[in-house]
Chains A and B, each alone.
Chain A
Amino acid sequence: MIAILLGLPALGALVLGLVPLPSRSARIVGTAFAAATFVVAVVVAARFDYGAGARMQDVVDDRWLPAVGVRFHLGVDGISLPLVLLTALLVVLCAATVADRLMMSVVLLLEVGMLGTFVALDLVLFFVFFEVVLIPMYVLIAVWGGPRRRPAATKFILFTLLGSGLMLVGFLVMYGATGTFDMTALARAHGRGVTAGTQLLAGTLMMVGFGVKSPMWPLHTWLPDAHTEAPTVGSVLLAGVLLKMGTYGFVRIVVPDLPSAAHDLAPALGCLAVAGILWACLACLALARGEHADLKRLIAFSSVGHMGFVLLGIATLTSVGIQGALIGNVAHGVITGLLFFLVGGVKDRFHTSDVTDLGGGLLAKLPALGGLLLVASIASLGLPGLAGFWGEMLALLGSYSPAAGLSRPLFVTLTGLAAAGTVLTAVYFLAMLRRVDFGVVTDRWRGERITDAAAVDLVAWTPLVVLAVGIGVWPGLVLRVSESAVRGLLG
């Protein structure tokens, strides 16, 4: 089943890349492939034994490259399943809006890499899928992006490759110490037989790799540019899925395989995470209150903050914190994906996403689009009852009582600072809403006839709204799936 999950989008990318279909049919064919992949993902979820979320299920394990000890090993467990579903869903929603054949092909190729990263159970295979994502995303930004797209795309790919190159060395150090690339075997071993020094070396190298992707302050500088210049589809997938590949790597590889390194690095990770939260808040505050700020840039910076909470949750090394990280991952994917869709919608209609140029009164002028922006922003700032709340709450909770052996005073301080971050997040989102959504329509737009969200847009965005509310009201949707798997990780 998992092989089909990866094969379908690969086939779709190939077909769309080679067969010169007209754009209209390319859109239908591409969306059909994406939808079929989503159906497969749902079938995988339906067959999943939720009583045994810690066990790898639907496993494929074949010989591939015995000469280097690499196996073709795939599977899902409670940690990867929600991310697989999120990825497949977001790609369907994206594909429905893509009108270019080659862009569709690139998006499907991207899906192969994203899904592959979440289901790979061999370190080299994981690395290959991790890298498969790079070129399609580079192409998405560099070809279909905004006016300064080329430097942004280059910055994105060079930063990410720097991280993943060092990460690969980290994997190889692990291999040198244990003699296996098998992630399930490494997780079972919990770092037994690997000296603390080796673990620290491998862990630090991997932390750079996953940190760039997550993104972790101060390795985040590629992200605002990439998001600002990327087309809507690129931004949605970048925020919704690509960033999760970094935090997923921390949870899947660093925490279980290198427990001693995770323990040594946790204070540093926690501090960088909180630095990221506060940095992002201040940057967003400046953007939301300043002149000529790009909405996409603002949301990109807010992503740095939200991912900071996810990283903080991981740094606590507690079951609660990591659960918070996982639900935070999913929630951020849903909400920020929605926000980028909405800003993309605004940009399509007004041909600008500049806060000053837009003026105000979006809610009055376009009630549906403005209303959804209001809902998504409030979800993003972490209002209880919506999805964004749980990740932040659990990360703070975990950080207040971190794992045994971690410095309690440090983490309590971090909790306080991160809590201040949640307040600042609310401040800048509300400031943004006040300027864009509320108020009166400026003279510039008063006479223009601008159509509100069409039915097709609403169909595409509704699943995300439903999920944002659904996970907010019933977080067990995600937490119950991952609960036993997280306990397994911590050993």
Chain B
Amino acid sequence: MSLTQSIDYAAISPPLVVVVTAVVVLLADLFVPPSLRRLLAPLALTGSLGALGVTAWLATGGTRSTFCLAGGGCSYVADDFATYFQIVVLAALVVVLLLSFPLFDERERVPSGEFLALLLMSVSGMLVVAAGRDLLTLLIGLEVVSLPAFVLVGLRRGDPRGVEAALKFFIFSVVSTALTVYGIALAYGATGSIELHHIARALTTLHAGSGAMSATAAAGVVLVLVGFGFKVAAVPFHFWAPDTYQGAPVPVAAFLSVASKAAGFAGLIVLLTVAFRPYADVWGPAVGVLAAVSMTVGNLVALRQRHVVRLLAWSTVAHAGYLLMPLAVASGHLRDGVRATLAYLGIYAAMNLGAFGCVVLVRRTRPRLAVDDLRGLVSRAPATAVAFAFFLTALAGLPPGVAGLFAKVVVLRAAVDGHVTWLAVVAAVNTVIGLAYYLRLAAVMFLPADAAEPADVRDGTRDWPVAAGVAVAAAVTVVLSVYPQPLLHLADLAAF
């Protein structure tokens, strides 16, 4: 038995490129003079685009596996599922980096080197989660996602709100991780393996019997579900999300709501549909209830929000519900369900990043970010107002944001085909509640401004990268509105 393992470096190249970039950024931050620090963000951006390119190349080839065990089964598999999530996460990273440029102003007091390195490290964890195929790899990946994220949330110096948000996020996340670890331990104890396919086989035999071990495994499945419920901010495990999003810098909130959620879903889907598939009768109804409650509570509470970021935070809670919905289908239709969730996630990433990007732009002149501060935005910044309204209609699932409508059609179809029509009806009613607040927010921007207009605190510097980020998100959303076929096709390939 050889003690050295042969590693397929091509397979792990996406996280590798990101980690190397993170280290380079951190070192450069230490050694370059302060005047050159503004080059760090472009450096990180270049690394991310490189990782994106590598992943795209990887996606065109066949499946690559590495860290394989002698007894079969690999810990890291770069299949279509993994590369789909990696592309979504990396594309989100590129946009988030563009949105982050204004953070490095003197005024914001965010240290650029640390911020960028932490962001990249968190992403490297997400890339590992997407490709991890055993319990330990998934767990380590999730921890790598979370630890830098706590710091990112509270990184703005001297901001008590940020610290509070970070603490809340930390505590909730640690609790959720503890639950996940416990669930994983139970699953391991019941099956004697950490490799997902082995677990699935062992669970099939366990499920047939009805011994104490079967109940242990079921408990493990439920605990893992609860842990991931925290990660994707599904009700009732969502309490951290609004406070954390509001306290964090807006680009970090965008990052958490898209990339972090995507990573959570990657892990959740792998565990549920591969390892825990025999227990679909246990987790299927639970996921259905989580989905229904998440969308309903998220939308209802969002109705009452007066702060733009909080409103969007509750909307992401609701979207977690839409994303969970297709996973609740009858087990024979699970592949269609996964496909629908993947497609929804891709569209959601584009429109939600766009909406948060518009918030970053608005924040430059209206730092309070109350909903009423958006009055008259259309005359101050017509392009921002139109783009913001477009993203909001997309989130609501209504033309002109047809992309969001397609996303809703896809998940509703999966639910109806998978014999959970009740859930589809709940979701359909929810789209109405959702529309009420998205539309109100969009309409405020087109109202005439107040007479007592607060003076603009605009400085205009470093706005163009944000605008570029919003433009990228808008372009993607527009393309997906007219011709979503490529994305739907990729989601189809990626599903298993």
| Residues of chain A whose beta carbon lies under 8 Å from any beta carbon of chain B | 64-68, 113, 124, 127-128, 131-132, 134-135, 138, 142-143, 150, 154, 157-158, 161-162, 165-166, 168-169, 172-173, 175-176, 201, 205
Contacts and interface: CB of A to CB of B under 8 A. Distances in A.
A128 B424 contact: no
Given A65-B484, A165-B429, A131 B489 contact: no
A166 B398 contact: no
Contact of B398 (A143, A161, A175): A161
Contacts of A150: 443
Nearest to B401: A135
B164 interface: no
B182 interface: no
A127 B429 CA distance: 16
Nearest to A209: B428
B399 A131 contact: yes
Contact of A157 (B409, B412, B424, B435): B435
Given A67-B489, A128-B402, A135-B398, A157 B439 contact: yes
Interface string B89-118: 000000000000000000000000000000
Closest 7 CB pairs of A and B: A67-B488, A165-B428, A172-B416, A132-B399, A162-B432, A165-B431, A169-B424
B402 A165 contact: no
Contact of A65 (B400, B424, B488): B488
B436 A158 contact: yes
A60 to B, nearest CB: 16
B266 to A, nearest CB: 21
Q: Give the interface size class of chain B.
A: 35 or more
Contacts of A165: 428-429, 431-432
B421 A169 contact: yes
Question: What is the predominant secondary structure among interface residues of chain B facing chain A?
Answer: helix
A175 B485 contact: no
B98 to A, nearest CB: 25
Contact of A169 (B412, B446, B483, B492): B412
Given A67-B492, A175-B413, A169 B428 contact: yes
Nearest to B413: A172
B417 interface: yes
15 contacts: A65-B488, A68-B406, A68-B410, A127-B405, A132-B399, A150-B443, A154-B436, A158-B435, A165-B432, A166-B425, A166-B429, A168-B409, A169-B412, A172-B409, A172-B413
Interface string B434-450: 01100110010010000
Contacts of B399: 113, 128, 131-132, 134-135
Interface string B468-496: 00000000000000011100110110000
Contact of B432 (A67, A127, A158): A158
Nearest to B435: A161
A173 B412 CA distance: 10
Interface string B164-197: 0000000000000000000000000000000000
Contacts of B343: 67
Nearest to B393: A135
Contacts of A132: 399-400
A128 B484 contact: no
B84 to A, nearest CB: 14
- Residue of A132, A154, A168, A205 with most chain B CB atoms under a 10 A cut-off: A168
